[in-house]
Amino acid sequence: MNPSRHIKGVCIDYTHDGKGVVKHEGLPIFVPYLLMGEEAEILITNNRGKYAEGKITKRLTTSPQRVTPPCQYYEVCGGCQLQHLSYQEQLKMKKMRVAEVLRRMGDYNGKVDDIIPSDKPLHYRNKVQFPFGHDERGNLIAGLYQQGSHRIIDIDECLIENTEADQIVRLVKKLCIEHHIEAYDQKYRQGFIRHVMVRKGIVTNQLMVVLVTGKINFPERQIFVDALLKAFPNIRTIVQNINPEFTDVVLGYREHILFGDGYIEDELSGLKFKIAAKSFFQVNPFQTEKLYNRALSIANLTPTDVVLDAYSGVGTITLLAAKQAKHVTGVEIVRDAVLNAIENAKLNEIRNVSFIEADAAPYLVERAAKGKTYDVLFVDPPRNGCDEAFLKSVKVIKPKRFVYISCEPSSLARDIKYLSDTYEVKYVQPVDMFSQTYHVETVVLLALK
């Protein structure tokens, strides 16, 4: 099939990231914004051999599940992929994706529970990161990256982000324009402002503002601090993070606290948490409580259980599990998160916990070599899942119950398959943590065979 060819087809499936799938002469064609059952005229834009990519030139039929996207930037911004699909159908798609990936890649053909829906499918994110740049005319812009590119879409409001965070980004942008502060160009090491990150404590209403800059010298810092505090009295801290590196990583290693203590506090399931700029804390607090409650419920903890929480962040699961177990050890590689976790244990007067600053995989390898055992293991790893050394050590230590929280079904399926000679999947529960996007969180219980 040649590129730029027009075809007509009906959507029969979805890709992992929510594109419609049309088959033409046996070749699957991936088409953004096309829904199951819809027929369309399609322009083939790229033929990649095993599949092709296309775009709708004319939609001939309309699915009853199609809705008008509420966001004006939806089809140019890369933040969301499913706003054109009704929320109930989004949930069905995500459950189907989890079940299909686990079956195809994990050899799991058992039951997948209905996905836990969100009561707040818009404005749910408590953490916002907006890159700054310049448009073709040299004007300062701030927003989100266009799908599959590094082109910044200048936006005023993101419908999945916290509203106050959007307002703070707009104010920082206005201040930069007024004081002739340019966006940082990492290639030429020119300019200054690189990103603005905002975190909000949903229960406490506290705000953190992180100004990520390419250079240290910030003569206008007091002007920015005064303006931000005047407009948003609930700001608890303002941090300058310095990141001059040529990288896609948002935060650098150096920080200057411009106001406050460098952290905010929030509450989850009755516990208080201190959260620093670099700390991992789930971005959807409304769903996090549901997710963790389900994870703890299926772990079936007892007062005699010794528990390990790998990738423990600021200690959320560690401290929640400590309420029900004999002792819980949290392992986390980010030093700031470990320090926060220790503070969080003191803050909540929880003493049957330990926090270790270490990479989870080598730590578990070391514990396995020393003959250490655990009754229950919790993991909440990054998107690429657990590495083989970690999983190999799990087979040595053999915790009775293994609760795996995953934000990527494919790495979850791969890890389940690797463990299948030692562990049996007992329970699979998807959770809608990231409404309007194709991402889905899943919590799985594995039991020792």
φ, ψ (nearest 5 deg) of residue 99 = -60, -45
Angle value at C-alpha 87, between 84 and 91, nearest 5 degrees: 115
Q: Is 43 left (phi over 0), alpha (psi -120 to 50) or beta?
A: beta
Token look-up 């549901």 returns 290
Residue 22 neighbours by CB under 8 Å, 6+ apart: 7, 9, 10, 11, 12, 28, 29, 31, 34, 40, 42, 54
What span, in angstroms and rounded, lies between the C-alpha atoms of 417 and 388?
Answer: 12
From residue 341, alpha-carbon distances to 104, 190, 313, 331, 377 in Å are 38, 37, 7, 10, 18
| CA-based nearest residue to 285, from 200, 194, 184 | 200
User: Bridge partners of 444?
Assistant: 404, 428
**Residue of 71, 80, 176, 407 marked catalytic:** 407
Q: Are 199 and 230 in contact (CB under 8 A)?
A: no
| 386 belongs to the catalytic site | no
**Would you list the DSSP string of 343-372?**
HHHHHTT--SEEEEES-HHHHHHHHHHTT-
The alpha-carbon radius of gyration of the chain (Å, integer) is 23
Residue 292 neighbours by CB under 8 Å, 6+ apart: 268, 269, 316, 317, 320
Enzyme catalytic residues: 407
